């Protein structure tokens, strides 16, 4: 993504970072932030027991279809651990989506997002889509609102897939479709 990949901190940035803890005032690319969100969703979602990773196994974040993240997602996942599980990233183009816990889904003109979503329909997978890529929505749908990365949450669809969504995540949504 547009990511500032070589962000060795320059003087100005270092200063900015030093004076502004946490979210630096300086801007980050939209894609980097979306990539940072993806592995973190695992903390705020509960899967049915049979779908949870076994001990020592990672939570699997899958990118189904087009990959807008590149290495940003791998970097974002590398630092995360959820309930003692690592977070791993897999890219799937036409293959099996069996092991996925979270699936970022983005289609193309010839294979629309809706179709890729429908292929995941029966599984307890947290589907994530991006408004930038189209109108079809997964359970979480990224949108940029007032210059920030936010999302819509479809709690009804989550419930249908036996997923529970933590209220802390729901509170951040710009819109929630209730159960």
Partner 1 sequence: MRTTLVLAAVSAATCVSTACPALAAEAVPAADLIPAAAAAADPNDLADLSIEQLADIPVTSASKRAEPLSAAPASLFVITAEDIEQSGALSLPGALRLAPNLDVQQADASQFAISARGFNGLQAGNKLLALIDGRSIYTPLASSIFWNLHQPMLEDIQQIEVISGPGGTLYGPNAVNGVISITTRDAQDTIGTLARGTVGTNSYTLAARHGFAIGTAGAVRIYGNWMTRNGLATPATGFDVDDDYTGFQAGFRADFGGEKDHVTLQGDLLKTDIDTGSGDGAKAHNLLGRWEHTLGPSASVQVQGYYDRFERKFNLAEDMVQTFDGEAQVNLASGRHELVAGAGVRTTDDEFINNLNIFQLVPTSRRLWVYNAFLQDRIALSGTLAVTAGVKVERSTFSGWQFLPNLRFAWQPTPEHLLWAAVSRAVRTPSRIDRQLQALPLLAPAPSFDSEKLTAFEIGYRGEPAKDFSLSLTAFANRYDDIRTTEFTGDPFPIMLRNGYRGWTWGVEAWGSAQVTRWWRAGFGLATLKKDLEIKEGRVDLARRNALGNDPKWQIRAHSHFDLAPRLELTLNGRAVGRIDMDPEIGGYAEVDGRLAYQANEAIELFVAGRNMLHQTHVEHNDPGATQLARRSFYAGARLRI
Among positions 37-96, residues that touch partner 1 (CB under 8 A) are 37, 40, 44, 65-68, 70, 72, 75-76, 79-80, 94
Q: Report the run of H or E that residue 35 belongs to, with start and end.
A: helix 30-40
Residues 109 to 148 in contact with partner 1, rule: CB under 8 A? 109-112, 114-119, 121, 131-132, 135-138, 141, 143-148
Of the pair 79, 84, the CB lying nearest partner 1 is at 79
Handedness of CA 9, 13, 18, 24 (dihedral sign): negative
- Least separation in angstroms between residue 58's CB and partner 1 is 16
Of the pair 15, 57, the CB lying nearest partner 1 is at 15
Strand, coil or helix: 46: strand
Q: Report the run of H or E that residue 76 belongs to, with start and end.
A: helix 71-78
β-strand partners of 149: 144
For 149-162, the three-class secondary structure string (H helix, E strand, C coil) is: EEEEEEHHHHHHCC
End-to-end CA distance of the chain: give it in Å, rounded.
Answer: 34
- Least separation in angstroms between residue 3's CB and partner 1 is 6
Of the pair 86, 143, the CB lying nearest partner 1 is at 143
Q: Which of 2, 48, 57, 164 binds partner 1 (CB under 8 A)?
A: 2
Of the pair 49, 162, the CB lying nearest partner 1 is at 162
């Amino acid at each position: 993504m547009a990511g500032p990949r070589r962000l060795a901190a320059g003087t100005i940035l270092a200063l900015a970072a030093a004076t502004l803890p946490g979210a630096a005032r300086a801007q980050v690319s939209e894609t980097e932030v979306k990539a940072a969100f993806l592995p973190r969703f695992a903390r705020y979602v509960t899967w049915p027991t049979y779908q949870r990773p076994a001990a020592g196994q990672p939570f699997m974040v899958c990118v189904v279809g087009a990959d807008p993240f590149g290495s940003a997602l791998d970097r974002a996942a590398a630092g995360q651990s959820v309930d003692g599980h690592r977070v791993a990233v897999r890219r799937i183009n036409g293959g099996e989506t069996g092991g996925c816990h979270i699936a970022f889904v983005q289609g193309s003109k010839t294979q629309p997002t809706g179709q890729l979503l429908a292929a995941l329909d029966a599984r307890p997978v947290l589907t994530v889509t991006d408004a930038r890529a189209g109108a079809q929505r997964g359970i979480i749908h990224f949108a940029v609102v007032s210059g920030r990365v936010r999302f819509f949450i479809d709690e009804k669809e989550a419930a249908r897939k036996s997923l529970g969504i933590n209220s802390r995540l729901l509170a951040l949504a710009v819109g929630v479709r209730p159960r």
